[in-house]
Amino acid sequence: MILLILAAQAATLGATNYSASGPMPAPSGKPSFADEFDGKVIDTAKWRFDVSRNAAGWYNHERQYYAKDRPENARIEDGSLVIEARRETLDKTRFADWGGQAYTSAKLVSREPRGYGYYEVRAKLPCGRGSWPAIWLLPTGGKWPDEGEIDIMEMVGWDPNIVHATLHTEAFNHTRGTQRGAQTKIATACTAYHRYQLDWRADAITIGIDGRAIMRVANDQPGGKAAWPFTRPYELILNLAVGGDWGGQKGIDDAAFPQRMAVDYVRYWRR
């Protein structure tokens, strides 16, 4: 059973610490969906590249241009998906949507949205200052954060090896300072692969690493959808941002680039 750390978890909008500890084993059966990244190229039947805000600029004042199907930024290498952020400018005649960014990277989004179930992504993270890797879920359409956001893993390079798990909703989000989440230190987050996991149920969302929970949020707050919009399928997102309000809080170390996030596999068991 998950053991909640209750000291900082009063039932108010100011409650942000939802740390948990307890076993969180992956299901033993065959996944409903999997990408083992064992082919030669990224499977575009399973993933699309999000390039929607390259010209206008990305949210959170991030500094990257997300390339589409460009091997320098996203490729299969040694049985893993590699998302690489690079310090470079592009040629506007070749990249018509380039918005003048000084960094390139990639953002992959699952073609099919998925809902309740168990998700596991085995990944090795970058630690360069200015890097901001993420494994997360968003629904299609609607206004943020009203429709919800599930962050299975985020880490910023200026605070290496501190891994964050967070939920955002209309009532509980970072713009209010009320987001519900937890963090933990993984000493080898940047040098070894770890399993980042989500157990999404109608009554609770639990996030863990390597088979052990680090965060649990129950569907027990008043407010209806404003507190719990997690009732429909979401798209899974893998990306490596550069800079931004959080990732760039301590500046960007250009000498540390290129930076890579490597993903060994993505697996999902439908519930």
Integer-rounded Cα radius of gyration of the chain: 18
In angstroms, the CA 11 to CA 29 distance is 37
Domains and CATH numbers, the chain: 3-270 (2.60.120.200)
Asked whether 107 and 69 are in contact (CB, 8 A), the reply is no
Residues 217-267: tens digit of each pLDDT: 999 999 999 999 999 999 999 999 999 999 999 999 999 999 999 999 999
Burial of 177 (0-12, 13-18, 19+ CB in 10 A): exposed
Residues 130-180: tens digit of each pLDDT: 999 999 999 999 999 999 999 999 999 999 999 999 999 999 998 898 999
Asked whether 144 and 124 are in contact (CB, 8 A), the reply is no
Residues 55-101: tens digit of each pLDDT: 999 999 999 999 999 999 999 999 999 999 999 999 999 999 999 99
**Sign of the Cα pseudo-torsion (253, 254, 256, 259, in order):** positive
Which sequence positions are flagged as catalytic? 149, 154
